């Protein structure tokens, strides 16, 4: 398992998230690997923790408040069960029978025969379970996560429009909005090289396109595979953002990309076609700019890439993201320094970056609505994070047209 991957190297701000240190994340992660998967252990004692024994996780993982749905083998009907509420590690429910036609409360005379029947049933259950487990552990893991109640319904990044009477904003808010608006329109778009391979395109995405991006993300985010709050590990702390992944799903608990949403097991959503044009154009415009700056070896300094992953984060005003490297993409992609292209929409954010995982030594840049930040080449492995969301700094017109909630939407495109 790769250490120090995306979002695994947290630097707690003011020690608020010290329980989420990288050490504890790693510790928890290694203890989350399924161990000694042996579906038939329970059946040997006939007692019978049928479902509880299907997947054995090491002790600490037994989540106190998470219930799992039972695995019901094909061809078997659940006759009576309290398995729905069975938790791993709980003692077996008194009456759990899977019936393949009529096995119900036995009388004592029928007990031996029916125990044999039950043994047969259990063998079949075990066989099916083994098949399911060996067939695709990933499917089962996602199924288990899917059934966890902790993720809840997808998060809506927009406020639901309601017929409310809007209060007039206070004078200081109006003045700040005016100042920001003036700054945006007087500055217009421009490009800045922050360091070799790291380019900032200011005010790059038009106001109309920002609205389109919010609308598209909202629609996708409300469906299956939509926005959820990722966590470090089962029963561990949560990241301070909502996330939806397109193209491939980033699994925060194992720091790797998978093909289903860890929240609900849905097949990963595709990146909408129209998103590609902003990424392609931003890289092309950066190349043109580098040329004007007499940079040689443009492709080496900032390689081109075709994104097949888009991670969409939504930060509320208290959201943030600790210093980390994005290093769960393929070795080849990382070796070539294929860039991460990041689009910011909504409230501005203080984005920190540097060569070390050290906030004190990190540089800071404010990312505003419509800005695009690209880091590739020799900057691909920078540590970076978001320390602050600047409340009430989103363009007023964006909020009016898209109804985006207070906060910041960020899309990072990568090529696996």
Annotated binding residues for Fe cation: 324, 326, 384
- φ and ψ of 318, to 5 deg: -100, 5
Tell me which of ligand AKG, Fe ion, none is bound by residue 313, counting a contact when its beta carbon lies within the kind-specific cut-off of 5 to 8 angstroms.
Answer: ligand AKG
| Contacting ligand AKG within 313-342 (CB under 6 A) | 313, 321, 326, 342
Instruction: Kindly state the smallest distance separating residue 92's Cβ from ligand AKG, in Å.
Output: 42
Instruction: Kindly state the smallest distance separating residue 321's Cβ from Fe ion, in Å.
Output: 7
| Contacting Fe ion within 326-385 (CB under 5 A) | 326
Q: What angle do CA 245, 243, 207 make, to 5 degrees?
A: 85
Instruction: Kindly state the smallest distance separating residue 119's Cβ from ligand AKG, in Å.
Output: 51
Tell me which of Fe ion, ligand AKG, none is bound by residue 54, counting a contact when its beta carbon lies within the kind-specific cut-off of 5 to 8 angstroms.
Answer: none
CA–CA gap between residue 345 and residue 357 (Å, rounded):
26
Closest to 345 measured CA to CA, from 303, 406, 265: 406
Q: Does 412 bind ligand AKG (CB under 6 A)?
A: yes
Interior/surface letters 377-416, b for 16+ CB within 10 angstroms, e for the rest: bebbbbbbbbbbbeeebbbeebbebbbbbebbbbbbbbbe
When the beta carbons of 88 and 351 are compared against ligand AKG, the nearer one is: 351
When the beta carbons of 278 and 351 are compared against ligand AKG, the nearer one is: 351
Question: What is the pattern of x (binds ligand AKG, CB under 6 A) and - over residues 237-266?
Answer: ------------------------------
When the beta carbons of 214 and 321 are compared against ligand AKG, the nearer one is: 321
Question: What is the pattern of x (binds ligand AKG, CB under 6 A) and - over residues 281-320?
Answer: ------------------------------x-x-------
When the beta carbons of 63 and 339 are compared against ligand AKG, the nearer one is: 339
Instruction: Kindly state the smallest distance separating residue 126's Cβ from ligand AKG, in Å.
Output: 42
Tell me which of ligand AKG, Fe ion, none is bound by residue 333, counting a contact when its beta carbon lies within the kind-specific cut-off of 5 to 8 angstroms.
Answer: none
Instruction: Kindly state the smallest distance separating residue 311's Cβ from ligand AKG, in Å.
Output: 5
Tell me which of ligand AKG, Fe ion, none is bound by residue 68, counting a contact when its beta carbon lies within the kind-specific cut-off of 5 to 8 angstroms.
Answer: none
CA–CA gap between residue 132 and residue 142 (Å, rounded):
13
When the beta carbons of 52 and 262 are compared against Fe ion, the nearer one is: 262
Instruction: Kindly state the smallest distance separating residue 308's Cβ from ligand AKG, in Å.
Output: 16
Strand pairing class (408-414; 363-367): unpaired
CA–CA gap between residue 402 and residue 384 (Å, rounded):
28
Q: Does 352 bind ligand AKG (CB under 6 A)?
A: no
Instruction: Kindly state the smallest distance separating residue 7's Cβ from ligand AKG, in Å.
Output: 6
CA–CA gap between residue 211 and residue 214 (Å, rounded):
5
Q: Does 96 bind ligand AKG (CB under 6 A)?
A: no
Residue set of the binding site: 324, 326, 384
End-to-end CA distance of the chain: 17
Please provide the DSSP assignment of 33-45 as one string: SB-S--TTHHHHH
When the beta carbons of 301 and 412 are compared against ligand AKG, the nearer one is: 412
Q: Which residue is nearest to Fe ion (CB)?
A: 326
When the beta carbons of 7 and 203 are compared against Fe ion, the nearer one is: 7
Please state, in angstroms and as integers, the Cα–Cα distance from residue 104 to each residue in 92, 289, 296, following that order.
18, 76, 79
- Structural contact between residues 408 and 315, judged by C-beta atoms closer than 8 angstroms: yes
Closest to 374 measured CA to CA, from 342, 413, 409: 342
When the beta carbons of 220 and 311 are compared against Fe ion, the nearer one is: 311
Name residues whose C-beta falls within 8 Å of residue 411's C-beta, 6 or more positions apart in sequence. Answer: 213, 217, 275, 310, 311, 312, 313, 342, 343, 345
Q: 194 by DSSP, 3-state: which?
A: strand
**Residue where the block lists tokens 């930040």:** 373
| Contacting Fe ion within 275-334 (CB under 5 A) | 326
Tell me which of Fe ion, ligand AKG, none is bound by residue 342, counting a contact when its beta carbon lies within the kind-specific cut-off of 5 to 8 angstroms.
Answer: ligand AKG
Please provide the DSSP assignment of 81-148 as one string: --GGG--TTSPPPS--EEESS---S--GGGHHHHHHHHHHHHHHHHHHHHHHHHH-HHHHHHHHHHT-
Name the residues that contact ligand AKG, by CB under 6 A.
Answer: 6, 311, 313, 321, 326, 342, 351, 367, 384, 386, 410, 412
Name the residues that contact Fe ion, by CB under 5 A.
Answer: 326
């Amino acid at each position: 398992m790769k250490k120090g991957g995306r979002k695994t190297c947290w630097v707690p701000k003011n020690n608020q998230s010290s329980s989420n240190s990288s050490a504890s994340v790693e510790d928890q992660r290694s203890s989350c690997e399924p161990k000694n998967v042996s579906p038939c252990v329970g059946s040997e004692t006939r007692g019978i923790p049928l479902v509880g024994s299907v997947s054995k996780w090491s002790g600490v993982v037994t989540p106190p408040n998470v219930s799992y749905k039972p695995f019901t083998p094909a061809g078997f009907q659940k006759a009576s069960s309290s398995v729905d509420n069975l938790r791993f590690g709980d003692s077996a429910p008194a009456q759990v029978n899977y019936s393949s036609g009529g096995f119900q409360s036995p009388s004592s005379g029928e007990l031996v025969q029916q125990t044999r029947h039950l043994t047969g049933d259990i063998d079949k259950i075990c066989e099916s379970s083994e098949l399911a487990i060996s067939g695709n552990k990933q499917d089962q893991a996602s199924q288990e996560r899917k059934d966890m109640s902790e993720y809840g319904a997808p998060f809506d990044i927009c406020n639901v429009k309601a017929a409310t009477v809007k209060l007039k904003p206070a004078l200081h808010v109006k003045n700040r909005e005016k100042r920001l608006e003036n700054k945006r329109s007087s500055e217009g778009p421009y490009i800045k090289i922050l360091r070799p391979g790291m380019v900032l395109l200011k005010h790059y995405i038009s106001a109309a396109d920002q609205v389109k991006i919010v609308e598209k993300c909202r629609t996708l985010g409300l469906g299956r595979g939509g926005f959820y709050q990722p966590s470090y590990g089962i029963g561990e702390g949560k990241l301070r953002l909502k996330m939806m992944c397109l193209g491939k799903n980033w699994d925060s608990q194992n720091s790797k990309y998978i093909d289903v949403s860890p929240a609900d097991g849905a097949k990963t959503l595709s990146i909408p076609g129209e998103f590609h044009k902003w990424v392609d154009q931003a890289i092309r415009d950066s190349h043109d700019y580098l040329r004007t700056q007499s940079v040689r070896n443009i492709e080496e300094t900032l390689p081109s890439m075709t994104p097949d992953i888009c991670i969409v984060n939504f930060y509320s005003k208290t959201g943030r993201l600790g210093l980390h490297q994005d290093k769960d993409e393929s070795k080849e992609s990382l070796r070539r320094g294929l860039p991460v292209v990041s689009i910011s929409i909504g409230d501005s954010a203080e984005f920190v970056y540097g060569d070390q995982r050290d906030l004190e030594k990190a540089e800071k840049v404010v990312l505003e609505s419509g800005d695009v930040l690209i880091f590739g080449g020799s900057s691909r492995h920078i540590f970076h994070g978001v320390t602050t969301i600047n409340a009430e700094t989103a363009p007023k017109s964006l909020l009016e047209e898209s109804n985006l909630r207070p906060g910041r939407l960020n899309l990072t495109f990568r090529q696996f």
